[in-house]
Amino acid sequence: MLVLGIESTCDETAAAIVEDGSKVLSNVIFSQAELHNQFKGVIPELACRKHLDVIIPVIDQALKEAGCTLDDIDVIAAARGPGLIGALLIGLNTAKALALALQKPFVGVNHLEGHLYASMMPKMPQNFPCLGVILSGGHTALVHVEAIRKYRILATTVDDAIGEAFDKVASLLDLPYPGGPFIENLAKDGNPYKYSFKAGQVKKNPLDFSFSGLKTSVMYAIKGQNALKDAPSNLSEIEKKDIAASFQRTAFSDIVNKTLLATDHHSYHGLIFGGGVCGNQALKKMFEEAFPNTPQFWPALGMASDNAAMIAGLAYHQFLLQNQQDSFFLKALPKIPNLI
């Protein structure tokens, strides 16, 4: 079964063709990073207009690379949220319009569930439950995964998402947007113990995350205690590297520690990682050291950040579970409190 997936939740316009939920025939991603870089973050209205410009060429390219036409497609799917409402509407309505015109089924997919599915696509965990670790630009969550489509959120962030914290620290260090990969790169040559930053602890739920205080202490380290937020920094290259390394170690140690705590409460057969931050190799190394005997499912290259292959792959399973098939009345949702 061939599924055309469409993704437009934030600043990537993507389309992919996936066969039977796991064979990726094409995975086309148009990144708007250059457009938003000048503003050091995503401008929703600009994102929306750019999605409109490129969505049809991106779909055409995905069909071309997969060597098929719209007639060959069995199901059309799109991310329905969470994300920027204007951006979501472009992908969702394009998918619905195509499905309606071609008389094909339409499936709406949760973007975050898609991120977790991306890591299960090449090889499903043999046993459940597993613990899902979602680390993206807009979300940070620990998720009890009973099976595909069966989730319980254990923890979220009470303020910034982890990717957002990376992007804000990158901006303070005058690095381009999105800043995650630039911080990772800078951190490679820095001393991760030079600065003693701290991630936040949340009394109400010890598994919850809080990164806004960490980001503020990085700001003070960069600009001094009394500095205005937009005052220029005068850091040497080595100071920048040490700050990047110390920030990254602090943030990732917090995520590893809270994952360890979650696995103390419950025994899990594997860890499933999803979201753009999971492309970070230092993070992967820390988890491999902390959980040497636990099977770990990481996104393949190009599958950590936003893409449509994860949407098409997951839509295949949703379509097979007939009772979970979605209708054309499905709305775009900027926020979705749980994963489905």
Return residues touching ligand KG4 (CB under 6 A): 10, 136-138, 163, 166-167, 178-181, 184, 275-277, 279-280, 305-306
Q: How far is the CB of 79 from Zn ion (least distance, A)?
A: 9
- Count how many residues are written for the chain: 340
Applying CB under 5 A, the span of 36-44, 87-95, 130-138, 179-187 interacting with Zn ion comes to: 130-138
With a CB cutoff of 8 Å and minimum separation 6, the contacts of 163 are 135, 136, 137, 138, 178, 180, 275, 276, 277
Q: How far is the CB of 111 from ligand KG4 (least distance, A)?
A: 6
180 binds, among Zn ion, ligand KG4, none (CB under 5 to 8 A by kind): ligand KG4
Strand order in the sheet with 296-297: 150-155, 140-147, 130-135, 271-274, 296-297
Q: How far is the CB of 115 from Zn ion (least distance, A)?
A: 6
Distances (CA, A) of 85 to 91, 93, 314: 10, 12, 21
CA dist 12 and 22 (Å) reads 21
Burial degree of 79 (CB within 10 A; 0-12, 13-18, 19+) = buried
Residue 80 or 99 having the CB closest to ligand KG4? 80
Q: Facing residues of 2 across strands?
A: 19
Assess 32 for contact with Zn ion (CB under 5 A).
Answer: no
Residue 73 or 277 having the CB closest to ligand KG4? 277
163 binds, among ligand KG4, Zn ion, none (CB under 5 to 8 A by kind): ligand KG4
Cβ-contact 40, 166 below 8 angstroms? no
Q: Which of 306, 315, 319, 326 binds Zn ion (CB under 5 A)?
A: 306
Within 13 Å, how many C-alpha atoms sit on residue 65's CB side?
17
280 binds, among ligand KG4, Zn ion, none (CB under 5 to 8 A by kind): ligand KG4
190 binds, among ligand KG4, Zn ion, none (CB under 5 to 8 A by kind): none
Compute the chain's Rg from CA coordinates: 20
With a CB cutoff of 8 Å and minimum separation 6, the contacts of 4 are 15, 16, 17, 59, 62, 63, 70, 73, 75, 76, 77, 95, 98, 312
Q: How far is the CB of 310 from Zn ion (least distance, A)?
A: 9
254 binds, among Zn ion, ligand KG4, none (CB under 5 to 8 A by kind): none
Residue 8 or 248 having the CB closest to Zn ion? 8
Residue 111 or 215 having the CB closest to Zn ion? 111
Residue 58 or 99 having the CB closest to ligand KG4? 58
Assess 136 for contact with Zn ion (CB under 5 A).
Answer: yes
- SS in 3 state form for 269-325? CCEEEECHHHHCHHHHHHHHHHCCCCCEECCCCCCCCCCCHHHHHHHHHHHHCHHHC
181 binds, among ligand KG4, Zn ion, none (CB under 5 to 8 A by kind): ligand KG4
277 binds, among ligand KG4, Zn ion, none (CB under 5 to 8 A by kind): ligand KG4
Residue nearest to ligand KG4 (CB): 180
Assess 94 for contact with Zn ion (CB under 5 A).
Answer: no
Q: Which residues bind Zn ion (CB under 5 A)?
A: 136, 306
